Copies of this chain bind each other. A is one copy, B any other.
Amino acid sequence: MTELTNRHWVLSRTPDGPLSPDVFAWGEAPVAPPGPGQVLVRNRMLSIDPAQRAWMKGRTYREQVMPGDVMHAFGLGEVVASQSPGFVAGDLVEGMLGWQDYAVAPAGELTKRDSSQSLDHLIGVLSITGLTAYHGLFDVAQVRAGDTVLVSAAAGAVGTVAGQIAKIAGCRVVGVAGGEEKCRWLVEALGYDAAVDYKAGDLRRQIRAACPDGVDVYFDNVGGEVLDAALLSMNQRGRIACCGAVSGYDDAAPPKGSPMIPGLLISKRISMSGFIVLDYLAGREIAERRLAGWIAEGRLKPVVDVDDGLESAPNALIKLLAGRNRGKAAVRIG
């Protein structure tokens, strides 16, 4: 094997407020060959997620990204060399590949993917993003046809999928997004029944107006004041799937918390359930087949927002945290 160079982004310090590019340091190093049981992967597409910001703050459902670490990221890549019988050169795989050109990973942490699907679909709708929307709606929130479903960060990666599949499930779907243009796009391009612009103020009144029959399911990607406003419109026995709390990830100050919890949960018999999609991967095959079917039928539109080149990774994440993206954010390499 000729000597390969691995370009990478390392976290240079733990950020304590809005992310800036100097939190990451660019570096290059020779690629180490895979050891026994390991696989060397050439990264092709890296996922850019709000959760990556949370990983820098402390231990979440996974270990903290510490200064000196290559920035963690889920991604897709091609096997270059394998010391495991489960993989051969040329296999398309996904896993925690990181912000770098090459990853060396234990075979057990990689999953083979179907290379006949496009990388744009495999990085989002047909992977963690789509499965998060799917299991959050069906297994956690248990949506039923006829429900009014409110989705926050509705123009984001998970939101664009959650809103569309709630429509497929026969629900009335209302999205919360930032800016009039995004809101119009949700309705016109993605088929949302209505959209609420959180930048336009008086969120409570807006949500109440957009959901005249109340909210049965709130798919919460943001927490904070949108959660607060949503709680007031929840119907009796409403279900809240807590998928993310992006409103707090990029702040130095701790979030304030909702004064309506637990009081309103009790008087309205509301269930609020946090979930991590990794707990649902046993059902992945069935969920992915349904998602792929809806895409093939033209009922589910994958929305991707791809930047080119590993160099663009920090800015792609900063842009995402500022809400300047639509759909699944990713970085394409090579």
Query: Contact: B266 with A245, CB < 8 Å?
Result: yes
Asked whether A259 and B256 contact (CB < 8 A) given A245-B266, A270-B273, A275-B266, the answer is yes
Majority SS at the chain A contact face: loop
User: A217 interface residue, CB < 8 Å from B?
Assistant: no
Q: Measured between alpha carbons, how far is A244 from B264 in the docked complex, in Å?
A: 10
Query: Contact: B269 with A272, CB < 8 Å?
Result: no
User: A271 interface residue, CB < 8 Å from B?
Assistant: yes
Query: Contact: B255 with A266, CB < 8 Å?
Result: no
Residues in B with CB closer than 8 Å to A275 are 266, 269
Residues in B with CB closer than 8 Å to A118 are none
For chain A, residues 266 to 285, give those with C-beta under 8 angstroms from any C-beta of chain B.
266-276, 279
User: A265 interface residue, CB < 8 Å from B?
Assistant: yes
User: A243 interface residue, CB < 8 Å from B?
Assistant: yes
Residues in B with CB closer than 8 Å to A244 are 266
Query: Contact: B267 with A61, CB < 8 Å?
Result: yes
- Nearest CB in chain B to that of A255: its residue: B259
Interface on A for B, CB 8 Å cutoff? 54, 60-61, 220, 223, 227, 242-245, 248, 254-276, 279
